[in-house]
């Protein structure tokens, strides 16, 4: 055998090399087949995904309609609308609003007294009746010089919002402001009069915060319309959630000698009977009134929409 190998050495070497090359070729074919199989599976997966997308409503589109690009354009328009809408949801400035540090007990107590006094004067100047020494829902805080820990920021925000609400009512010329109710934001609020507070709470969806208020006042029809217009035109994101109207005669009207007088409100006098206004028809004994302007008691539930700061 060895003699034969020696005589055919070149043939043996060639055969061994051939076998080695055949083995390498087989291994290469196996690897290539495996890679092709994986690639084919991925191709099927991509094809299945494309088919699912094409069957969706809406689909990504085709060579004529690019729904993805259309969606991007629509998203851009929505974002542009959101940026424009933010002009109608401006934040109301807290009272006080220090720029050089946190709110202190002293600064809030001083701001609260000054704001309440100013609102009382504004009501008198606008000929709007308010109860004597009315605290505009801050009775629990009015006599304090120290406040519940962690509550000053929320109270300052509410004080600014209550001032804004009151000024809208004064600008509309309502006859009397009976009360403003807000949500409790401080442990001090637990000791305040129940008529100052709502059972609701502020809510948030991660992008906006919704804070409710309830306002009760008395006015004639035109003043009610002006009040609603004031909330609608405000840049502070007021949304009127509900409004309830009933004749003011069904609600006792508290008056005092130091309340402002004006349309139907004498000093210490009850309101006069409704005065006839437009609309009359002839009859026996002269003209007969067919429409009378009546003083109304109004309760409005408003929500202030506040944009939360972006992270």
**Residue 213 has which token pair?**
């208020």
**C-alpha dist (Å) from residue 279 to 99, 221, 288, 293:** 57, 15, 9, 11
Instruction: Judge whether 272 lies within some domain.
Output: no
| Structural domain for 171, as ranges | 89-251+292-307
pLDDT of residue 42: 79
Q: Give percent of the chain above pLDDT 70.
A: 69
Domains in the chain: how many in total?
1
Please tell me the predicted confidence (pLDDT) of residue 204.
87
The pLDDT of residue 252: 47
**What residues have CB less than 8 Å from 265, skipping those under 6 apart?**
127, 129, 175, 176, 255, 259, 271
Which of 37-41, 145-149, 263-267, 304-308 is the most confident on average? 145-149
Asked if the structure places residue 280 within a domain, the reply is no
Residue 19, domain member (yes or no): no
Ramachandran region of residue 243, left (φ > 0), alpha (ψ -120 to 50) or beta? beta
| Identity of the highest mean pLDDT range in 42-46, 82-86, 204-208, 252-256 | 204-208
pLDDT at 8: 63
The domain that holds 193 is classified in CATH as 3.30.70.60
* Stretch 287-306: mean pLDDT: 82
Look up residue 37 and give its two tokens: 């199989």
273 domain-assigned? no
Q: How many residues does the chain have?
A: 311
Helices marked H in the chain: 2-7, 9-55, 67-85, 105-125, 139-142, 152-172, 221-233
Assigned domain for 235 exists: yes
Nearest to 226 by CA among 163, 159, 276, 167: 167
What is the per-residue pLDDT for 45? Answer: 80
Cα dihedral 130, 131, 136, 138 in deg (nearest 10): 170
Asked if the structure places residue 77 within a domain, the reply is: no
The two tokens of residue 64 are: 């004529």
**Axis crossing angle, helix 152-172 with helix 105-125, rounded to the nearest 10:** 10
279-296 exposure pattern, b = at least 16 Cβ within 10 A, e = fewer: eeeeeeeeeeeeeeeebb
Q: What is the DSSP letter of 89?
A: B
Q: Is residue 301 part of a domain?
A: yes
What pLDDT does residue 40 have? 73
Higher pLDDT residue, 27 or 257?
27
Does the pLDDT of residue 267 top 60, yes or no? no
**Residues 120, 116: Cα–Cα separation, whole Å:** 6
User: Is 113 within the bounds of a domain?
Assistant: yes
Strand partners, 209: 204, 306
Pair 306, 237: CB distance under 8 Å: yes
**Cα distance between the two ends of the chain:** 86
């Amino acid at each position: 055998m060895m003699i034969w190998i020696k005589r055919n050495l070149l043939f043996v070497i060639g055969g061994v090399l051939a076998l080695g090359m055949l083995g390498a070729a087989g291994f290469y074919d196996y690897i290539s087949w495996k890679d092709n199989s994986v690639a084919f599976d991925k191709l099927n997966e991509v094809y299945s995904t494309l088919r699912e997308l094409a069957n969706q409503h809406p689909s990504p589109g085709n060579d004529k309609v690019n729904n993805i690009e259309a969606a991007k354009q629509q998203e851009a328009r929505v974002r542009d609308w959101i940026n424009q809408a933010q002009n109608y949801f401006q934040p109301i400035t807290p009272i006080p609003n220090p720029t050089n540090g946190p709110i202190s007990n002293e600064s809030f107590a001083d701001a609260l007294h000054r704001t309440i006094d100013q609102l009382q004067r504004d009501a008198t100047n606008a000929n709007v009746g308010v109860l004597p020494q009315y605290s505009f829902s801050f009775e629990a805080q009015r006599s304090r010089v120290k406040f519940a820990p962690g509550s000053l920021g929320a109270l300052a925000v509410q004080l600014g919002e209550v001032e804004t609400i009151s000024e809208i009512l004064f600008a509309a010329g309502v006859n009397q402001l009976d009360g403003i109710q807000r949500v409790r934001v401080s442990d001090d609020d637990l000791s305040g009069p129940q008529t100052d507070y709502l059972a609701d709470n502020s809510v948030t969806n991660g992008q906006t915060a919704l804070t409710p208020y309830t306002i009760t006042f008395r006015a004639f029809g035109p003043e009610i319309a002006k009040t609603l217009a004031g909330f609608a035109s405000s840049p502070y994101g007021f949304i009127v959630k509900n409004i309830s109207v009933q004749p003011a005669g069904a609600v006792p009207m508290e008056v005092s000698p130091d309340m402002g007088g004006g349309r139907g409100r004498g000093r210490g006098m009850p309101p006069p009977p409704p005065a006839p206004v437009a609309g009359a028809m002839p009859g026996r004994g002269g003209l007969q009134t067919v429409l009378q302007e009546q003083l109304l008691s109004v309760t409005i539930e408003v929500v202030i929409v506040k944009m939360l700061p972006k992270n």
